[in-house]
Amino acid sequence: MANTMKSVVSFTFTLCASNLVSGQVRYSIPEELGQGAFVGNIVEDLKQNIRELSARNVQFISNDRNQYMDENEENGIVLVRERIDREHLCGQSSTCSLHFQIVLDNPVEIGRLVVTVLDINDNSPSFSKDNYYIQVNEVISPGAHYPLESAYDPDVGTNSINSYQISPNSHFGIKVQTRSDGSKMAALLLEEPLDREQQSTFHLVLMAIDGGIPHRSGTAQIIISITDANDNAPVFDHEMYRTNVLENAPEGTLVIKLNAVDLDEGTNAELTYSFTSHTLQRARELFRLDPGTGDIRVQGLLDFEENNIHELYVEAVDKGPYLMTGHTKVLVGLIDVNDNTPKLEVTSVSSTIPEDAHPGTVIAAISVRDPDIGENGQVQCEIDVNIAFKLQKTQNNNYKLVSNGVLDCETYPEYNISISCWDSGSPSLATITSILVSISDVNDNAPKFTQASYNMLVRENNQPGAFLSAVTALDPDFAQNGAMSYSFLKNQLQNVSASPYISINSESGTIYALLAFDYEQLKNFQTIVQAQDAGVPSLSSTAIVNVIILDQNDNAPVIISPLPCNSLASVRIDRQAIYPGDVITKVIATDADSGMNTRLSFQMLEASGSRLFSVSLLSGEISAVRRFNNQDAITQKVVVMVKDNGQPSLSSTTTICFSVLSNVPEKFLVQNRQPSDPENFTELYIYLIIIFGSTSFVFLATIVILVVLKCKQDRNINHYNPTCCCCYRRSNSNEAFNRRTMPKDMISYTGAHPSLPISETYLYPIHIPPESSKRDYLFLKPCDATLPLNELNVHTSSVTK
């Protein structure tokens, strides 16, 4: 360990052994050596005998509060008493030394010991914050730079900060500059155009690297937010200012007045000025910057011999929702000057210009004079190149302000144009004058509807004058050019005029119904609405309005079968031919409404017989539940209700009277059984076929008798025309039903099986679904069949809503 320490220590001395008073011993050691580390051997360096020095009582006397060194009296070796931190001991001074006096007795002699503490790279660069936030507008052109916070490294010399790096990315780079004192500062450099819609945020890592070996580094994260191009960043009159001030100027003396211009308005144009982190602390102590006015004043004692020029880095920040900054550099020279600023006089100002003015239109005449002579009296003027105006020099120091692009009142209703003029002196002096130019509106924008078409839904049976909806059009022009009126065009779509049905408020665009709509008569129509401004000439645009009428359940079902005739109907059935499940008749109804309102269901409300009939819920088919017996009445009454699926539902009822007959002649009976599959035949069927074949002559005789009886019966009843006992009271939907063309299959109900061959003049064929293996029967055709008066029952039906 001792050898190691010794190898890193170097010393020099100038000593006269015979006269120690004029001698001096120098040692150089690195900082951070541990306690007991070897510094040097005073005996060897003084070329003295150890015994002689011990006898003369060698002492080390230091002016420092801490005694960092010890001397071994036995061998004359100088050791480190406690750890030395150079940064704590000497700060950032370029040299750091410990001074001791070497005192010897008998005789008294005094020498000097100087221990130089060398800096080692034991500190890494660090930033004051972990995260730095920078906002960059997406319209900023490549080449713009943004000052970054400087890192701090307590080490000195080559161990201090040497360079900055930034993490690789596609848009930003780093620009490192060297101050006059040799320190480094970094600025963020925009290298590629930005597009906020593609990437709105960048997370970059800024690294500060020192020059030590090995290198040490510190990092901070830079969060860059890309703002939308809805505002303007403050712009100083110059990228760099030069000014001078007497070195004996008293505190409060104005050094320079900075001015930045923000083309925005309101709070977005209110600026705050401040020094950036690149401004050295010493410069901050000497100068004060007013955050509101941009004035830089003296606040410390200036000393030309200390520094004859100061660099001040200033930023102007606006107060918009997304902070925008402008930067400039001010060079303050400590010299005595006496100068004059250019004087501007603006004449013939046209404060208002129409937005359709041609480029080259003269806005103002400007004359400039400078009482100085030579280069100090030669004046140049300019305005911001990013606006729709420019300065044209006429002669001598005279200018005119003219338009230089397309003006748009809706985008920029006014411009606050700052005219900057500066002379050619060194340093240059400048003056600024602002001209407010207002842009007058012309009618160059047509109204535009928020939608190309509007769909308006209204339920039928609405109240006349009911609100339907509203249309909206926008016009960015001002005053009368932006005032709109709404109306319906005379040329309509679908050859339907809107005037009888709807009206529109000409000011608000609100549309009202003029009458109560009937879905069954009119389901929808279209018309064209126009928005027209009040400009001269006026501009307009159109949109399509679709009015859609929604159905309501306002029509009850109408029963169309069995067909009524004189409000009565009758059905005849043979009690001996009816089997359970056989379809006797079918109730058919219709509904003038649409959608769910037309879905019908059937329900038996009342039946005179004991569980003789059933009604299908969906089809309306009336079927036999069981076979008739002798105890059942010959006249059966069935009340059926037909109900739609509306909300609330509407219904109609009908009463059907069945006349149950006995002993129908066999000649009118037709077998209706379907042949069974061969695999379903049994021995019983074979026996029955044999029996029926052997007794066929009995059937032939019976058929002859029935024919004779039927002919006599027909002669007896030809003089009677019965009315049916199937009747109902018609609802309002009968009118709608009478207007409709009923499909043929809704009036005639047909099945798949044959029926009793009674004359079609008197009887309906009755059918059941094909899957039924039971027989089918007949009911009498209304208005044609005849019945004895004592078999006629009349019932009245009702319609329920």
**For the ranges 150-159, 251-260, 490-499, 563-572, which has the lowest average pLDDT?**
563-572
Q: Quick one: average pLDDT of 740-749?
A: 39
**Per CATH, domain 235-333 is 3.40.50.2000:** no
- Rounded Cα distance between 565 and 411, Å, is 80
- The pTM score is 0.37
CB distance 265 to 290 below 8 Å: no
pLDDT tens digits, 389-435:
888 888 878 888 888 888 888 788 888 888 888 888 777 888 888 88
Token pair 């960043």 is found at 233
Measuring CA to CA, which residue among 605, 603, 602, 624 is closest to residue 613? 624
Show me where the domains of the chain are located.
Answer: 2-118, 131-227, 235-333, 343-440, 448-550, 558-674+710-791
381: helix, strand or coil:
strand
Residue 679 clears pLDDT 70, i.e. is over it = no
- Confidence at residue 757, expressed as pLDDT on a 0 to 100 scale: 33
Name the residue with higher pLDDT: 609 or 414.
Answer: 414
- CA torsion sign for 72, 76, 77, 79 is positive
343-440 and 448-550, same CATH topology: yes
Give kind and range of the element (H or E) at residue 114: strand 109-118
Q: Quick one: average pLDDT of 502-525?
A: 89
Give 441's DSSP letter: P
Q: In what order do the strands lie in the sheet with 172-178?
A: 145-147, 184-190, 172-178
- Confidence at residue 275, expressed as pLDDT on a 0 to 100 scale: 96
- pLDDT band at residue 595 under the 50/70/90 scheme: confident
Q: Between vectors from CA 651 to CA 649 and to CA 655, what angle results, nearest 5°?
A: 160
Residue 3 clears pLDDT 50, i.e. is over it = no
* Rounded CA Rg of the chain: 57
Measuring CA to CA, which residue among 801, 493, 532, 487 is closest to residue 651? 801
What is the dihedral angle through the alpha carbons of 290, 295, 296, 297, rounded to the nearest 10 degrees? -90
- Rounded Cα distance between 539 and 161, Å, is 67
- Domain topology for 343-440: Immunoglobulin-like (2.60.40)
Concatenated DSSP letters of 649-711: --EEEEEEEEEEE----GGG----PPPPPGGG--HHHHHHHHHHHHTHHHHHHHHHHHHHHHH
Q: Quick one: average pLDDT of 79-97?
A: 74
Query: Mean pLDDT of all residues in the chain?
Result: 76
Residue 749 clears pLDDT 50, i.e. is over it = no
Give kind and range of the element (H or E) at residue 43: helix 42-46
E strands of 568-627, at which residues?
571-574, 583-586, 588-590, 601-607, 613-615, 621-624
Name the residue with higher pLDDT: 774 or 101.
Answer: 101
pLDDT tens digits, 200-248:
899 999 999 888 888 888 999 999 998 766 567 889 999 999 999 887 8
- Rounded Cα distance between 75 and 91, Å, is 34
**For the ranges 68-77, 434-443, 560-569, 581-590, which has the lowest average pLDDT?**
560-569
- Please give the structure tokens belonging to residue 667: 């000649």
Q: Quick one: average pLDDT of 86-93?
A: 72
- pLDDT band at residue 73 under the 50/70/90 scheme: low
- pLDDT band at residue 284 under the 50/70/90 scheme: very high
**For the ranges 11-25, 347-361, 463-477, 755-769, which has the lowest average pLDDT?**
755-769
**Per CATH, domain 448-550 is 2.60.40.60:** yes
- Domain topology for 558-674+710-791: Immunoglobulin-like (2.60.40)
- Rounded Cα distance between 149 and 127, Å, is 7
Measuring CA to CA, which residue among 567, 585, 569, 564 is closest to residue 785? 569
- Please give the structure tokens belonging to residue 757: 């061959």
- Confidence at residue 730, expressed as pLDDT on a 0 to 100 scale: 37
CB distance 632 to 648 below 8 Å: no
- Please give the structure tokens belonging to residue 116: 């130089």
Residue 761 clears pLDDT 60, i.e. is over it = no
pLDDT tens digits, 323-378:
889 999 999 998 644 356 888 888 767 778 888 888 888 888 888 887 666 676 78
- Confidence at residue 773, expressed as pLDDT on a 0 to 100 scale: 35
- Confidence at residue 236, expressed as pLDDT on a 0 to 100 scale: 95
- Rounded Cα distance between 488 and 504, Å, is 8
- pLDDT band at residue 444 under the 50/70/90 scheme: confident
21: helix, strand or coil:
helix
Q: So what's the architecture of 2-118 in CATH?
A: Sandwich (2.60)
**For the ranges 301-310, 379-388, 466-475, 494-503, which has the lowest average pLDDT?**
494-503
- Confidence at residue 362, expressed as pLDDT on a 0 to 100 scale: 87
> CA of 699: how far to CAs of 379, 622, 691, 692, 704, in Å?
139, 32, 12, 9, 9
Pairing of strands 398-403, 448-449: unpaired
CB distance 582 to 772 below 8 Å: yes
Helix axes 683-694, 696-717, angle to 10 degrees: 70
Measuring CA to CA, which residue among 461, 458, 462, 647 is closest to residue 550? 458
- Domain topology for 131-227: Immunoglobulin-like (2.60.40)
Helix, strand, coil percentages in the chain from 3-state DSSP, rounded to 5 = 15, 40, 50
Name the residue with higher pLDDT: 285 or 573.
Answer: 285
